[in-house]
Amino acid sequence: MNKQSKSNVAEKPVEHFLPLTPAVFHILLTLADSEAHGYAMMQEVTRRSGGTVRLGPGTLYGAISRLLEDGIIEESEERPDPEMDDTRRRYYRLTKLGGRVLAAETDRLADLVRAARSTKLVRKLKPA
Amino acid sequence: MILGNLSIRYSERFYSALLSLYPPHFRIRFAPEMLQLFRDCCHDALEKGEVAVVVVLWLQVSRDLFISVVRERGRDLIRPIGAEHPLGGIVDVVLIPSMVTANLLALGPILTLLIGGGAIMASDQFVLTSGFFSFAIGSLAVAASIVITKLRPTVRLWVKLSA
């Protein structure tokens, strides 16, 4: 990621990146609290989604590639525990823009859920 | 367990070879991490069961590989020409219009004369025919130029690896 592309990204409004795909939303959620490497992201996404979202290596790194280009995530130089960890692994973390994108998408989904729940049909069919 | 370790070893080699299907810039950046991830998944699969679990993993990975290779290749095609190599970009920008202009001026009429075998043509027929040939050759030139531009990183990588 060079400086020029970073400055181009900074000009884009958060709405430009919305809506996020389920895979990207899960990846950003995983990185929301701590940085992680690819394998940790993959496991966390599977665990959080109850196995409904499974990211293969190609899908995961395709998404990471786009998120890096957009300046939504960045590679982290720090290692949580260098002695316990494989040095070949690369860690990723959210940027400030990434945090704003995640918050905006969360708001968008919350509004959507609120709108859906306000309909008679959804209230009627609501599982017990 | 020996069978499991063997299957992992060969799975890794095969997956490593399959990674060459991705575009060069993507492969150079992410292939080591993807291979490491695949290795971790294989070890996970073996912990859960025997070789059959590795087979199930391969089914999932094959689907993922096919979809993501098509997606990344598509992204690579629509990437601005010369985005990674500014000098290459300048050559493309100069080369493509030059080739099109040159053939519009010369190749179309020349080809018309050659195919016509020196037969006398009405002027409007000559212009129409040479225009058609100019357009056809121009389109081929543009397509060839784009293909060459897209193949350039692969050739460069191949030369680097074989050196």
Tally A–B CB contacts below 8 A: 58
B33, B42, B62, best to mutate vs chain A, most A CBs in 10 Å: B33
**Do B30 and A86 count as a contact with CB atoms less than 8 A apart?**
no
Residues listed for chain A: 128
C-alpha–C-alpha distance, residues A11 and A48, integer Å: 33
Beta strands in B36-162 (DSSP E): none
- A124: tokens are 């009627």
Distance of residue A105 Cα from the nearest chain B Cα, in angstroms: 24
Q: Of B70, B95, B82, which Cα lies nearest the Cα of B149?
A: B82
pTM of this structure: 0.67
Beta-bridge partners for A121: none
Q: Which backbone phi and psi does A88 adopt, to 5 degrees?
A: -75, -15
ipTM field: 0.80
Beta-bridge partners for A93: A74
| DSSP of A38-76 | HHHHHHHHHHHTTTS----HHHHHHHHHHHHHHTSEEEE
Instruction: Tell me what pLDDT residue A3 has.
Output: 44
Strand order in the sheet with A73-76: A36-37, A91-94, A73-76
Coil, strand or helix at B116: helix
Distance of residue A31 Cα from the nearest chain B Cα, in angstroms: 17
**Do B64 and A88 count as a contact with CB atoms less than 8 A apart?**
no
**Do A90 and B33 count as a contact with CB atoms less than 8 A apart?**
yes
pLDDT at residue B137 tops 50: yes
pLDDT digits over B12-33, tens only? 899 999 998 998 889 999 999 9
Q: Of B70, B120, B145, which Cα lies nearest the Cα of A62?
A: B70
Asked if B84 is an interface residue toward chain A (Cβ–Cβ < 8 A), one would say: no
Tens digits of pLDDT across chain A (128 residues): 444 444 444 567 888 888 999 999 999 999 998 899 999 999 999 998 888 888 999 999 999 999 999 999 999 887 666 655 666 689 999 999 999 999 999 999 999 999 998 998 888 876 65
C-alpha–C-alpha distance, residues B148 and A127, integer Å: 58
Residues of B in contact with A89 (CB under 8 A): 33, 36
